[in-house]
Amino acid sequence: MSVADQEKTSSRASWWPVIISSFKGETRDYTTETLQRSILFLAVPMVLEMAMESIFALADVFWVSRLGSDAVAVVGLTESIMTIIYPVAIGLAMAGAAIVARRVGEQDDEEAARSSVQVILLGLAVALALGVVGICFGPSLLRAMGASDRVLELGSNFSRIMIGGNVTVTMIFLINAIFRGAGDAVVAMRTLIFANTLNIVLGPLLIFGFGFGVTGAAMATNIGRGCGVLYQLYHLAVRPGRIRIARRHFVFEPDVVWSILRVGSVGIFQNLIGMTSWIGLVRILSQFGSSALAGYTIAIRLVIFALLPAWGLSNAGATLVGQNLGAKRPDRAESAVWVAVRYNVIFLGIIGLLFIVLSAPITWLFTQDLEVHRYATQALWVIALGFPLYAAGMCMTSAFNGAGDTWTPTRLNLACFWLFEIPFAWWLADKFSQGPSGVFIAITCAFSLVAIGGLILFRRGAWKAVRV
């Protein structure tokens, strides 16, 4: 009998007690707990954590959309620039989560704490350097992205605050990845709930109440995330948990830093390829005007709203991969991924169907401009067509990264996003005269290719032999 069959036989209890228990934040051994229960214990708080992160994106564009299409374009262009920063944070976070998960699987909590401190210090140094660049050159970066004079006038301070304050989003990514790798998913969830609540409260207050306009959205986001980081550090240093950092851990560890850089640098490159491809798409779209760009921005925020919770479920599989490989149980690690795939395809397939059927009324919530609405509706349902495949693909990508095999998804990203998606989008939009719809079609095709390639490579099993 396979590991998966054994898990099905031994996990007949109702899901509801498990789901309720998942919010308690109890320490568990995920190398011995049944896979069905392990996925639920980890996935429920991770999905909610990622839902909170997606609400960050939606809350900003919801209020900013009341200021007009140029204000929404400011958010869209700045977010496309932030895609240079996000890969750094996510790449280091992937390395941190993989290394911490391995050490926890090996029952070496002291080494897990030492690794966590090195991840945080390394991320802090990188974020501060990028912040200086953002403060000095934020408006110039907006202009390079094709911003009009009006967009530049509205967005100069927004871009400076968002890029200059990137340390808040970087730290939240990194420290939450540490909690996830350790299996403390509830703390990561509570962090995002706390930070997001502050952002939702402060957003309209600063945008409209104090009259800061679009700049107020950037202020609210960074204040919310900054307070979330303080909450994380409190749990790492003061509250009892699987990972507990102390003064003795703040010593430079060359071997640990090298492991983080070795795994993280490829992870950064992997995400840089994927995320900077959005810059290429925005650049193609910008030639069709602010309405097309604003519609795309609204649709992408809605897509992110759906995809981030799905990433939370795939991250549950990644944690189980890392911990079970550390415990020398590769077959159990593989079975955990297939369980995550099944759940994720169901979840994201339902969301995709809702987006296809209800795309028009959903996008009306974010704009009353007829032209912006037309582009947003079209982008939303076209991209949602590929959601079931996206669900499987993100589980494969997370599994590779959870095992420390960051090269495999990096090659997939390079082939599918830069060698296929951007040229295909340009060809459809310009040469085939499809305009913005060509870009939307290219996005769906590229993410579907990532999923198919990931499934093929995952079944080969080379990721099981990676050492971190």
For residue 409, tell me if it sits in a domain. Answer: yes
What is the extent of the structural domain holding 391? 34-465
C-alpha–C-alpha distance, residues 59 and 159, integer Å? 17
In a domain, 431, yes or no: yes
Residue 99, domain member (yes or no): yes
Residue 88 lies in a domain: yes
Residue 28 has pLDDT above 60, yes or no: yes
Residues of the chain above pLDDT 70, percent: 94
Residue type, 94: M
Residue labelled with tokens 């951007």: 422
Could you give the CA distance from residue 54 to residue 61 in angstroms, rounded to a whole number?
Answer: 11
pLDDT tens digit string along 94-126?
888 889 998 988 888 888 899 899 999 999 998
CB 309 within 8 A of CB 43: no
Is residue 146, in this structure, part of any structural domain at all? yes
State pLDDT tens for residues 365-401: 888 889 999 999 999 999 999 999 999 999 999 999 9
Residue 9: is its pLDDT beyond 50? Answer: no
Residue 15 inside a domain? The answer is no
Q: Which of 19-23, 54-58, 261-265, 272-276 has the lowest mean pLDDT?
A: 19-23
The residue among 76, 81, 82, 50 whose CA lies nearest residue 64 is: 76
List, for residues 309-320, the tens digit of each pLDDT value: 788 789 888 889
E-assigned strands of 184-313? none
Residues 6 or more apart whose CB falls under 8 angstroms from that of 75 comprise: 60, 61, 64, 158, 214, 217, 297
Dist. CA 390–CA 452, nearest whole Å? 9
Q: Domain count for the chain, please give it.
A: 1
Residue 22, C-beta contacts closer than 8 angstroms, at least 6 positions apart = 40, 41, 42, 44, 45, 185, 186
Residue 407 maps to a domain: yes
Query: What global pTM score does this model have?
Result: 0.76
Q: Tokens for 266, please give them.
A: 């490829």
Assess if residue 4 is contained within a domain.
no
